Amino acid sequence: MEKAKAEAWRRMAALVSPDDIIERPNNPTFRELWHFYCREKKPNLSDGRAKRLDELKKLYFKPALWHVTAKELPDEIRAMRDRMLKGWTGDDRDERRGKRKKPLHPNTIEDIVNIARATLNFLLENGTIVGPNPVATIPVAGRTAPIDREPKGRHITFAEMGKLIDACGPPHHLHMILLELGCAARSGVFPDMLLNQVLWDLDAIDTLPVGNAQTSKYRPVIPVTGPMKWVTAQAALSAGPDRHLIHYRAQGLTGRNGTQIIHRIAKRALGEDAAQVNWYSIRHTLINWLEMRVPARSLSILAGHIAALDSRERRQMRENDGSRTTLIYLQSKLTHLDPIRKVLEEEWWPAIQEHCERDLRLGDPKVEEEWNQAAQKARR
């Protein structure tokens, strides 16, 4: 019966026009609302946010709200909120990577509650359905503002950075650590990165995948400095058919591999001092170090707090025709990276090398040859 219902919903989605207004005198269930909410919302969401909707459906909405009607929805969402505040973390959770021990944070609960409210409110606002009353705001006790929250990670020293680098085993661990150390990117940028995001003629990497829309967490173009150059070249030369820059045995990383990598490296390198050492630690250590050394605008652009390039300019960088005139024009668009390149090359990487037994190959003339070889292979 469940398979038949799922197939019926799939076929209906292909037949019903987005312009159709669905009048339901019989009071639609959350399940019906969720179907049309996802149909309208998912095409405009990032892959990560779309997966998040599927996760919320499985863990919380299916066990708590699936057969609830629109009239009963406000009371049932409040009941779900109360249940989560008491420690419920959802049903049918995948515990193969360890059981969740901590209860949900009130901010996470508020996000889940607001998505549950939006299943009805969004459809009412855009006219997909008519009839039921919207769900009013449902407060969540204990929620905090960003400034009041505990940091996700702590700052690390140059000595700890050296230990992290020396503790890397497989090549993809080393590649990720050195790339993150050189750009302060948000976590999750490099596991999904493809070779076509490397701007070979500009010594830079576009952290926004081709075809993805920008979000409020802007994904910048970052400079390639120090060991990042030979790391990128090595990764590109050994990439598999799926064209992932960071890969293990020629296959791109999946799931939570990126998070697991930093936790394993930190534990191996720092032992009991590994608490709160993660990608967030590396990002904010570099941002704070750069704060007194580069212009505020350059730092804000690198950190992804403000935009420096529009979609047309980013497309031009990827479709560079190789002419000298075009290259000069594109380089002028990245002049905000020049102060960052300078201090990273002259101060940041040498300071890390002092505390690192592994050779970072700073100043090695062969690095440029490897970069050019990787660029030629990537363009084939």
Render pLDDT for 317-363 as a digit per residue (tens, 0 to 9).
887 777 888 888 888 989 999 999 999 999 999 999 999 999 999 99
pLDDT digits (tens, 9 = 90+) for 137-187: 999 998 887 666 677 789 999 999 999 999 998 999 999 999 999 998 887
Closest-CA residue to 29 (of 64, 1, 59, 3): 64
166 φ, ψ (degrees, to nearest 5)? -65, -25
Angle at CA 38, nearest 5°, toward 141 and 15?
A: 155
Number of H helices, E strands in the chain: 17, 7
**Torsion angle of alpha carbons 227, 232, 237, 242, nearest 10°?**
150
| Contacts of range 99-102, beta carbons closer than 8 Å, 24 or more positions apart | none
> What's residue 25's pLDDT?
43
> What's residue 146's pLDDT?
65
Angle at CA 274, nearest 5°, toward 272 and 278?
A: 170
Angle at CA 233, nearest 5°, toward 344 and 285?
A: 30
Instruction: Name the β-bridge partners of 247.
Output: 252
Phi-psi region of 246 (alpha: psi -120 to 50; beta: other; left: phi over 0): beta
Half-sphere exposure of 102 (CA within 13 A, CB side): 4
> What's residue 269's pLDDT?
94
Low-confidence ranges of the chain (pLDDT < 70): 13-26, 96-98, 146-149, 255-256
Alpha-carbon span 183 to 23, nearest angstrom: 52
Residue for token pair 């930190």: 266
**What type of residue is 136?**
A
DSSP assignment string, 329-340: HHHHTTGGGHHH
Alpha-carbon span 163 to 172, nearest angstrom: 17
Q: Rounded to whole angstroms, what are the CA distances from 219 to 28, 128, 226, 239, 304?
A: 39, 33, 21, 23, 6
Neighbour-count burial of 62, counting CB atoms closer than 10 A to its CB (0-12 exposed, 13-18 middle, 19+ buried)? middle
> What's residue 11's pLDDT?
76
Q: Rounded to whole angstroms, what are the CA distances from 355 to 42, 166, 359?
A: 47, 10, 11
Helix (H, G, I), strand (E, B) or coil at 69: strand
User: Are 269 and 164 contacting, i.e. CB atoms less than 8 angstroms apart?
Assistant: yes
